[in-house]
Copies of this chain bind each other. A is one copy, B any other.
Amino acid sequence: MAEAGRGPGSPRGNGGPTVGALGEAGVLARILPRLAGAPALLGPGDDAALVAAPDGCFAITVDTLVQDQDFRLEWASGHPASGFDVGWKAAAQNLSDVNAMGAVATSAVISLTLPAATPVSWVEDFADGFAAAVRGLGAHRCAVAGGDLGRGREISATTAVTGDLEGRAPVLRSGARPGDAVAVCGRLGAAAAGLALLESSVALDGPDLPDGLDLPDGPDLPVGPDAALRELVRAQCRPHPPLDAGPRAAAAGATAMMDLSDGLARDVPRLARASGVDVELDPAALETAARRLAPAAEALGADPLEWVVTGGEDFGLLACFDAAATVPDGFAVIGSCVAGTGTLRLGGRPVLEAGWDHFEES
């Protein structure tokens, strides 16, 4: 996501108290009940939480979302962005990393850095969004086990999530072999198309649809009467990593796996280099994905294939399977591994490694 290029601000308040007025203990008292879900062996309130690891080991990952880098307080188009969506994404992207190992999430700890002027309502929305994602994405074993609150000049949210492999071997990025099928589970380019819509002048305001698309995930999104566009905005604001698919792919013998957080063009070469193979993607398979983005591409005059190839934040799974294996339900084959050293080719031509680098100027 491009840097917004303006000074750090605070979310709009609703007239309620700020975190500075309520203090650390007061804010915690407001948000901890909202985050309650699956119980940990010992939850928030002591120096550390305790989480079960019946497998004798656990997976662990950490990621940070920073204001104006990874999320906005207001979209470039002027649409308000909600704390709910930031909380949802904080949960989703970390649950996705555990999923990509073939593990089931068991706990999350959250560290929130907030300007004192942040409305408490924004933080409550964040907690609601986080909890809704844990519940809505099916992470039923994942306890919000603890956290930390501190002050800074900009909002940032760091989440660490742990996972249980349930006796399975972890699926690494490095196990793909020449001849393996390359498959994906989840949308390609949908979150990028949604981002483009949110940053565009396309009219997204309008009467809410009575279709329940936004239920039970939280407040309505700022999208007008077009259900196809609404779905893409939703993919950006509330991504749905397929949390059942990671363990299923592991059980089905996936040779390598990772989640698609930065886009095919950047993520596939990472898996290819780790495995020591080249990957050939099938243009026809990507065209199929691009056709699903046609409504947004038409509205914006954009090339949907660009979103499919370079778009990040879909949090689907990229997995490789032995050619003799049955690719599990929900995965679509989009290419294959060949002998090589990490090059991604599309229709025989090398793909420039484009995508999201946190320190690249945009």
Contact = CB atoms under 8 A, between A and B. Distances in A.
Q: How many identical chains are in the complex?
A: 2
Most buried by B among A48, A111, A113, A160: A48
Contacts of A96: 47
A107 interface: yes
Contacts of A360: 23
Contacts of A149: 358-359
Interface in A297-353: none
Contacts of A158: 62, 64, 111, 148, 158
A13 B69 CA distance: 24
A49 interface: yes
Interface string A38-72: 00011001111111111111111111101111100
B109 A64 contact: no
A153 B68 CA distance: 9
A63 B149 CA distance: 8
15 contacts: A20-B361, A42-B172, A48-B61, A48-B100, A49-B61, A50-B170, A51-B57, A53-B55, A54-B56, A60-B145, A62-B160, A63-B148, A66-B151, A67-B152, A116-B359
Interface of A: 3, 8, 19-20, 22-25, 27, 41-42, 45-64, 66-70, 96-98, 100-101, 103, 107, 109-111, 113-114, 116, 145-154, 156, 158, 160-163, 165, 170, 172-174, 257-259, 274, 357-361
Given A50-B165, A152-B156, 17 more contacts: A3-B151, A42-B172, A45-B274, A46-B174, A47-B100, A47-B257, A48-B59, A49-B60, A52-B57, A53-B56, A56-B56, A60-B109, A62-B158, A64-B158, A151-B359, A152-B154, A156-B156
